Amino acid sequence: MSEQTLSNLMQENRRFEPPADLAANANVKEEAYARADADREAFWAAAAERLDWGRKWDQVLDWTNPPFAKWFVGGTLNASVNCVDRHVEAGNGDKVAIHWVGEPDDDARDITYAQLKDEVSRAANALTELGVRKGDRVAIYMPMIPEVVVAMLACARLGAPHTVVFGGFSADALASRITDCEAHVVITADGGYRRGAASALKPAVDEAVAKTGDLVRSVLVVRRTGQDVDWDDSRDVWWHDAVDSASAEHEPEMHDSEHPLYVMYTSGTTGKPKGILHTTGGYLTGTSYTHWSVFDLKDDDVYWCTADVGWVTGHSYMAYGPLANGATQVMYEGTPEKGRWWKIVQDYKVSIFYTAPTAIRTFMKQGREIPDGYDMSSLRLLGSVGEPINPEAYVWYREVIGGDRCPVVDTWWQTETGQIMISPLPGVTAGKPGSAMKALPGIAADVVDDDAKSVGNGNGGYLVLKEPWPAMLRTLWGDDQRFKDTYWSRWPGLYFAGDGAKLDEDGDIWLLGRVDDVMNVSGHRLSTTEIESALVSHPKVAEAAVVGAADETTGQAVCAFVILRDSAGDGGEDIVEELRRHVAKEIGAIAKPRQIMVVPELPKTRSGKIMRRLLKDVAEHREVGDVTTLADSTVMDLIKGKEGSAS
């Protein structure tokens, strides 16, 4: 086994310098860090100049009532004008905004900025007809079709905050979100395509609406699959009736910089989801600036973010950031299938590609022969988001997908932060596989101990943010107290992100997973990520998830769930012992899993996060808890079926 495959997180010493031509022509150079440090507010004010404002702000930041921030106070703007109209006015109306690719083969559409402007204006007029007024909330429950972007921008145009609920969520989840933000209008589709078949959405909306009393007045329905739907004439309206016949002229109003743009629900530690509130001026500034700087966006790039619009990455880096920047992007309806993504990269000459480590590991598992069959020479930059990327996946991504020529930007951020916070700058930073590197210019991050003291280089602790930033959440919808308690109460003046992190000897940041995923085994602090990374560095392992299960003697014990690579077959008789030894060698005997289960799948949310809570239930022999946010709820049955065969 080579030195490299043996590396684990903390011993990682490979470095990848920025390509010389990229560095020479980079949108953002090294000087940005010093400029931002010298005057953070002036730095963000300059970034806000990227946008078109109705009225300029009087004050960059009002932080007199922390943790409630106001950015670009007194300024007015319209998010949809910034994402659409201004590009048309600048003469770029014929530029493709969205290369949309449906899941069924040969189902594709290109939408230019001019067409998008007309469609958004029509939809805004149609929503107005349905009684939607500034400030009203609109729920959106849709597949990955262009109309979902149109719907979001139409809401933004009217100043009606949207709440997009991921199409894979249940009717219950939808109902609780509709209720929490009191939405009177829902936008949906008859269904969408998933794994080769039409999958219905409207029945879940009907069920959710029935659970919310008479709250919902109208349901606007896009016809996507053509499947039969139940219809309530008093409430349901076809998109093609209401929108297609509406005028393509719509005079946009300029909204206050702090006007609510959207609410995105994310799961908290308690059962009730948190409604993260984002507002207009700061959010658009933060997403537009970071999309331009982190991805080094150029006018002729073809950008593709594979995230579903139902989670925050789809909001910041598919909808608002790229469109505010006038980018051309790919939007794909389906889920990752063998070869299909790479064919899209080839066909559309994608140059910037942004995805999640879980997808990368899935492709690693299938073997490099599949991507090797496509011409991906158009790619010049790769991004990763959603969870720590283990060095093996990073290096595979770089070599196999990026042809060893594309920098990888590992971007750390959250629904709450709205924008990328920690990431290499591709023209400046030499990448270390597995590290998100540095806080971006204008962002103040640190790693602290229990007493909020900086841990210093070479040590681990909690990740915190020390200064407000433009796209930060403003509060939790209707619950200022929970906002304060969740993020700001642990240490005064510091935003607690909930992630563990380590500063290496150079002061670069390594994310170690949620602190609720940190285990304590016999008094030793062990990171789930570190052990997962060690397991995945074994050539037979494709993917691994580790949980700490209660143990009478050691407090917690390490329990691992692994998926083997296709090429490893069943792994052989002694696979469990082989892997335990491997972890001991990589990290130390203390990290040796008590139990390793070889499983066919891992339970994941649609955004690719492993639901360790459920694995913990299995490891501790409990009834498995709520599985409604799993992308595929049958996975737990597969895993439990394996339980008997565990070591």
Please report, in range form, the residues annotated as the binding site for ATP.
386-388, 410-415, 499, 514, 525
The window from 120-128, 135-143, 410-418, 578-586 that contacts ligand 6R9 (CB under 6 A) reads 410-418
The 255-274 site mask, x for binding ligand 6R9 (CB under 6 A), equals -----------x--------
Binding residues: 194-197, 313, 386-388, 410-415, 499, 514, 522, 525, 536, 538, 541
> CB-wise, 486 or 607, nearer to ligand 6R9?
607
Cα-Cα end-to-end distance for the chain: 26
User: What is the rounded distance in angstroms from the CA atom of residue 592 to the CA atom of residue 624?
Assistant: 25
Q: Which tokens in the block code for residue 103?
A: 């899941």
Q: Binding-site residues for CoA, please?
A: 194-197, 313, 522
CB of 140 to ligand 6R9, least distance (A): 18
The CB-of-276 to ligand 6R9 minimum distance in angstroms stands at: 8
Identify any residues that bridge with 238 across adjacent strands, giving them in sequence order. Answer: 221
State yes or no: residue 585 binds ligand 6R9 (CB under 6 A): no
Contact 303, 350 (CB under 8 A): yes
Min CB(604)–ligand 6R9 separation in Å: 12
Going edge to edge, which strands form the sheet with 236-238? 236-238, 218-222, 185-189, 138-141, 162-164, 260-266, 274-279, 475-476
- Residue pair 601/563 in contact (Cβ under 8 Å)? The answer is yes
Interface residue with ligand 6R9, options 103, 256, 387, 530 (CB under 6 A): 387
Binding mask 211-250 for ligand 6R9 (x = CB under 6 A): ----------------------------------------
Tell the smallest beta-carbon distance from residue 647 to ligand 6R9 (Å): 29
Least spacing, CB of residue 142 vs ligand 6R9, in Å: 19
The one segment of 150-158, 222-230, 412-420, 636-644 that binds ligand 6R9 by CB under 6 A: 412-420
Candidates 196-204, 406-414, 424-432, 444-452: pick the segment binding ligand 6R9 (CB under 6 A).
Answer: 406-414
Amino acid, single-letter form, for residue 202: K
- Measured between alpha carbons, how far is 27 from 408 in angstroms, rounded to an integer? 16
Which one of 88, 152, 376, 436 is in contact with ligand 6R9 (CB under 6 A)?
Answer: 436
Minimum distance from residue 432 beta carbon to ligand 6R9 (Å): 13
Beta pairing class for 328-332 and 274-279? unpaired
Q: Which is nearer to ligand 6R9, 158 or 312 (CB)?
A: 312
Q: Could you tell me the smallest distance in angstroms from the CB atom of residue 16 to ligand 6R9?
A: 16
CB-CB contact of 95 with 303 (8 Å): no
- For ligand 6R9, which residue of 413, 483, 496, 561 counts as binding (CB under 6 A)? 413
DSSP character string of 345-363: HHHHT--EEEE-HHHHHHH
Shortest Å, Cβ 411 to ligand 6R9: 5
Contact track, ligand 6R9, 488-527, x by CB under 6 A: ---------xxx-----------x--x-------------
For ligand 6R9, which residue of 411, 419, 533, 537 counts as binding (CB under 6 A)? 411
Give 71 or 412: the residue with its C-beta nearer to ligand 6R9: 412
For the annotated binding site for Mg(2+), the residues are 536, 538, 541
Span of 104-112, 362-370, 409-417, 479-487 interacting with ligand 6R9 by CB under 6 A: 409-417
> Which has the closest alpha carbon to 385: 413, 345, 427?
413
Q: Looking up tokens 């043996």, which residue turns up?
A: 6
Helices and strands in the chain, H and E counts: 22, 30
In the complex, least distance from residue 211 CB atom to ligand 6R9, rounded to whole angstroms: 26
Question: Between 601 and 620, how does the x/- string for binding to ligand 6R9 read (CB under 6 A)?
Answer: ------x-------------
Please, are residues 227 and 194 in contact by the beta-carbon 8 Å criterion? no
Spell out, one character per residue from 415 to 434, where the chain touches ligand 6R9: x when CB under 6 A holds, - when not.
Answer: x-------------------
CB 292 within 8 A of CB 306: no
Region binding ligand 6R9 by CB under 6 A among candidate stretches 63-71, 386-394, 574-582, 587-595: 386-394
Q: Is 527 helix (H, G, I), strand (E, B) or coil?
A: strand
Give the whole-angstrom CA distance, residue 138 versus residue 150. 13
Contact 536, 392 (CB under 8 A): yes
Quickly tell me which residue has 């991050």 as its tokens.
445
DSSP for 451-473, written as a single string: TS-B--TT-EEEEEE-S--TT--
Binding mask 288-317 for ligand 6R9 (x = CB under 6 A): -----------------------xxx----
Contacting residue, 167, 168, 191, 386, with ligand 6R9 by CB under 6 A = 386
Long-range contacts of 547-551 (CB under 8 A, 24+ apart): 547/517, 547/519, 547/612, 547/615, 547/616, 547/619, 548/517, 548/518, 548/519, 548/520, 548/521, 548/616, 549/594, 549/595, 549/616, 549/619, 549/620, 550/620, 551/521, 551/594
| One-character DSSP codes across 109-154 | EEEEHHHHHHHHHHHHHHHHHTT--TT--EEEE--SSHHHHHHHHH
Q: Could you tell me the smallest distance in angstroms from the CB atom of residue 429 to ligand 6R9?
A: 14
Question: Residue 388 CB, nearest distance to ligand 6R9 (Å)?
Answer: 4
Tokens representing residue 353 in the block: 């590609």
Can you give the binding site for ligand 6R9, defined by CB under 6 A? Answer: 266, 311-313, 385-388, 410-415, 436, 497-499, 511, 514, 607
